[in-house]
Every structure is written in structure tokens, then in C-alpha cells.
Amino acid sequence: MRKLKYSLYTLLCTLMIAVVFNSCKKVLDQSENLSQYPPGNVFNDLSLSNAYLANLYGTALPVGWPVNDGNSADESGGITGLDAITPSSGRSFWPYDTIRKLNIFISSIPTGTLPDATKSNLIAQAKFLRAFLYFKAVVFHGGVPIIKVAQGLTDDLKVPRNSTAECFTFIEADLNEAETALPPKYSGNDRGRIDQAIVKAFRGRVLLYKASPQFNSGNPYDNQYWAAAYKANSEAKTFLDANGYGLLENYSNIFTVKGNKECIMSIIGLNPGRVNLRGDDAVRPLSESKNATGGDQPIWSLVQAYPMLDGKKISDPTSAYTYNEQTFWLNRDPRFAQTIVYNGAPFALSGKAGRRQYTMKNIASSLDAFGFAIQGENSYRTGFFTSKGLNLALPAPPTTSDYDWNEIRYAEVLFNLAESANETGRSNESLAVLMAIRKRAGILPGADGMYGLKAGMSRTEMRNAILDEKYLEFAFEGKRYWDLRRHRLFATKLNGIHKYGMMATLVNGRTADQVNQTDISSAAAYSLLPDNFGYTVTELITSGAKAMVVPDTYYFFPIPLTFLNQNPNLKQNIAWGGTFNPEL
């Protein structure tokens, strides 16, 4: 493969319109919209072609961490209410503007004068982006119209939906064609470009969804697609291992060390230009931020889900550690302290050495306190914050973190392999994955070397163990809701649940209204410890609707009425009053 002349950094810097990097002017300083250039002005010139492609990267791929995605699941405090999703409002994904630009690029590059190897590489990247968009649309809605060429004003724009099976075939074909023209692994300044490692890992995700109960409700775990999912994920792991990928030794460093060996597909942060992909300003406590807070605040059920240090559940009487609700933070899975910030926990934001985070009324900053008299009856502050992915050293308010967002990391490939292995009679491989994940987390192996896992798990038990482990490993990384949806577990895991936090109600035996100056001074000196407080599990919503409403109709979102009205050839999904079957 001929190496492209321009690095990813240069590609990003050429993007002067939609993505950012306004200070980077290495190649292009144009005011016109690149999507309107005639082919002769763009596709004969590598810098202009790269600029066009950078625009497409910016609109096709995620912009950063999915802050507050956990509100839809059992991670953070938001409540999904009645009729949160309808054909008139709610979740939809209809990316045809970007798909049109990708189709222009794919069809126009061959007409230019760039070297053949360069053309093939650029087209391959664009085909991956097209597959990425189609896959997300299918996950949202089921089958959607397949459009392979840019439509003109004289074309028939009222295109019907293709079947879900046809869409998966199309996505897989784009990925297969893309892989053949890409290098195994980009690094250095090219890191972030689509390469074979990304394609293989993403194919494993696609085929896992294809096999899942979401698309196969009549035969959820014995259908023909599981074998292909296992093959894809096994091949992806083998390829990644051979190219230097693997589990990073330190869990926290995954999110703060750029380009580490666990990062497969990264959205690159750059300073200046593209910063704060984590949403630090929205996730930090408001006392160390500005304008907004409350993002990704853990709820009590997530806090409880972390096992003890020996890997046993907090309710397991065989654990070597005794769990106590009043000292819930002691002797837990090390990922707990690397993710959950609780009252009195160390949280050295803004470079403040020794800083502790308080949440009790009259002890904490009023901006951070969890108390209904402070925040109103309908707030969902939980008594917890998260440190995951944050740049703690940034001053308040944070604006300059250049940490990346890892859309695909090596651990996801392991979990995808574990799921597909379990459903194809290879539970020994699934167990090996869970043990590797727990070993990296710092959970103790125990005398039996099982890291707290049960020996001889059934297929169903292993399936549940995989989902439970992924819940913790990927907390706030935008996996949980979609995993429960993919496995059709809304009825048992989300629908009807109430959400709770942990309110610090006493300090040294005194209530919030009895706090004295000594308590306040001790808090200012960060000398109050978590066990100086007493705690009460508290429901987060105290008036109005309190329960999550997540019906089975949400396994496929409806096609918005706007699009149905524009195109009478589109058919609505069955669960939403139409005739289209979104399953395979």
C-alpha cells in the first residue's frame, strides 16, 4: 500500500467548514462548500480530496463520549417517561445527507487523476463511513433505503425501504471492499484513519447485532448468524493481537493515554481545535465547572453492581469481604474507585491536591450537594459523580482537554467474541475473556483462580455474566442501553424501574441542619472522610412520574412521520402501526 502523502493531522487541519480546526491552515483555506466543487477542482488534488473526506469523517462518526446516554439505561439518573419516543418525536437516525456526500466522493474519485492506490485507499475509507452510517440506521429502525449513488433532482427520490437482510448484506459488502484497500494499522500522525484493524473490529460488532435477539426474536440464540459473528470476532482478535493491540494494564489509562494499545478506533482530540470530547464541563461537579452539571451521574444500582475485591457479588455470603451499606466503598472491584466518586472520596480536580468531593447539604458546595431542599423535587442529582475519562488536571472551567474518544476498544472485541463464543458452544472461550477482563481490573484471583466467577456456568448463566461484566467495564461509554435493547431485556431490566441515589444525611452524627463550624472547616481542609458520614438510599424523583417507561416497541424506533409524509413509498414498522417487518 502506497502511503498517503498527507497524515491524519493534515487531513483534519484541512477541514475548514464542518469539523473544527479553524486554526489549522496547512493545505486549504477556502470559503466555499467542498461538497459543491466540480470534480476537476477536488478529485484531481489530494489535499482537496482529503479535505472533502475529513468533512465526511466529521459528520459520519461520533463527536465524542455519549454523555447522558446512561439516562436511558440503569447507569445515570434520567427517567425515560411515557411516550418519550413516538413517530412524531424521539430517537431517529436518517443520515442521507452525509450518505449523499459519501456517494459523490465514491463515484468521483475514480474520475480524477490521483494514483490508483491512493484512489482505492480514499474510496475504502469512504465505504467504511457509509457502512458505519447504514449500520446505525438499521440498529435504530431496521431496514432503510439503500442508495448507492448520489441522487439528482431528476431522479426518483421516493425510494422504498430495503429489507433488513438486504441492508446487512450491503453493509458487509462495503466493509469487505474497504478492507482490501487499507493498511493493517495506521499509527503516528495517521492514527484515526480507517484501517484494517478498525474494519475487522467493526465487522464483529455488526455481525453480533445481526445475530442478536433484536433482529431474531423468534430464534434469538440458535439462529444461523451466530456462527458468522463468532468467526468475525475470532478473526478480529487474532488480527489485533498480531498487530500489537491488547488490554492495557491500567484501566484508568485507557481513557487518558492517547493512542494506547487498547484503542482501535479513536476520534482524535487536538488542542487547539478539537477539545473536550469527554464533555468535562458537563460531567464535573458544578463547583469545578460552569453553566451545566449532572452529566453521567451514577445511580445506586450501578454502584451496587460492582463486585467485592474477590469478584463476588455484594450479596454473596461466600465472599471473603463483608459488605456494609454504610461503608459501601470498601473492598470493591478496583474499577469502582476508578469510575465512581462518592461523598468524601478523593477527587483532585483542577490540580487541587488532596481535594475530596462532598455531596452533603451544608458540607458540600451548594452547587454539588444532593438534597431536595437545594435542587428541587425533580432534579436527578444522585450523590455520586464519575471521574471516568476526565482530565483532572484542567483548571475550572475545563475547556482544553485533548483526550480522544475511543469508539472501539480492544475490550469490546473481547466481549463480542465472548458473546458469540457462548452462543456457539465455546463457553470456555467466554470464560477466558471474563477472567482476562477481571484480572486487568485488579480483582483477586482467589484460591480457585476464577476471579470470583462461577465454575461450570450454563449457557444462560454465562450470557448473563458477560452482560453483567460489560455493564461495569463500559460504564458511561454508551453500551448498556444498546446491549439491553439488543438482547430484548427492556421488560426485565428497565421498564418500570425506579432510580435511587445515596444521600449523605449525617456528619459525625449531626444532620445537615445541625452542621457546625468545625464540620465546615474540616470539609474545607478535606479532612472529613467517607466514614465520618451516615447515608440513606434515596429515590431520585419524588413527584410526578417516577418509573422508567421502556416498552417493547422501542426495540425498533419508528420512522419519523416527517419522512413518511415526504416519501409515501416508505412503510412504517409493524410495532408502530405499519406493515414493515424490521427483523431478519
- Structural domains in the chain, CATH included, are 1-61+88-185+562-584 (1.25.40.890), 195-268+404-477 (1.25.40.900), 280-403+497-539 (no CATH)
Is residue 145 within 8 Å of 108, Cβ to Cβ? no
Is residue 130 within 8 Å of 123, Cβ to Cβ? no
Does residue 17 surpass a pLDDT of 50?
no
pLDDT, mean of residues 306-329: 98
Confidence category of residue 147, pLDDT binned at 50, 70, 90: very high
Cell numbers describing residue 163? 429489507
Q: Which residue has the cell 486549504?
A: 28
3-class DSSP assignment, residue 346:
strand
3-class DSSP assignment, residue 465:
helix
> How many angstroms separate the CA atoms of 127 and 171, rounded?
9
> How many angstroms separate the CA atoms of 170 and 146, rounded?
8
Confidence category of residue 544, pLDDT binned at 50, 70, 90: confident
What pTM, to 2 d.p., does this model score? 0.94
**Would you state the pLDDT for residue 65?**
98
3-class DSSP assignment, residue 292:
coil
> How many angstroms separate the CA atoms of 532 and 358, rounded?
11
Does residue 5 surpass a pLDDT of 50?
no
Least confident of 60-64, 68-72, 246-250, 543-547: 543-547
> How many angstroms separate the CA atoms of 567 and 558, rounded?
15
CA dist list (Å): 452 to 50, 82, 250, 302, 399:
50, 39, 20, 18, 41
Does residue 518 surpass a pLDDT of 60?
yes
pLDDT, mean of residues 43-47: 94
> How many angstroms separate the CA atoms of 529 and 522, rounded?
10
Is residue 51 within 8 Å of 15, Cβ to Cβ? yes
**Would you state the pLDDT for residue 155?**
62
> Which residues are within 8 A (CB) of 184 and not within 5 positions of it... i.e. 6 or more apart?
195, 196, 197, 239, 243
Max Cα separation, the chain? 78
CA dist list (Å): 2 to 313, 373, 493:
53, 65, 50
Q: DSSP state, 428?
A: H
> How many angstroms separate the CA atoms of 377 and 374, rounded?
9
Is residue 318 within 8 Å of 312, Cβ to Cβ? yes
> How many angstroms separate the CA atoms of 70 and 482, rounded?
10
Confidence category of residue 217, pLDDT binned at 50, 70, 90: very high
Helix/strand/coil (H/E/C) assignment for every residue in 81-110: CCCCCECCECCCCCCHHHHHHHHHHHHHHH
Q: What is the per-residue pLDDT across 376-415, written as a single tens digit (0 to 9) for each?
A: 444 568 999 999 999 999 999 888 999 999 999 999 999 9
Confidence category of residue 39, pLDDT binned at 50, 70, 90: low
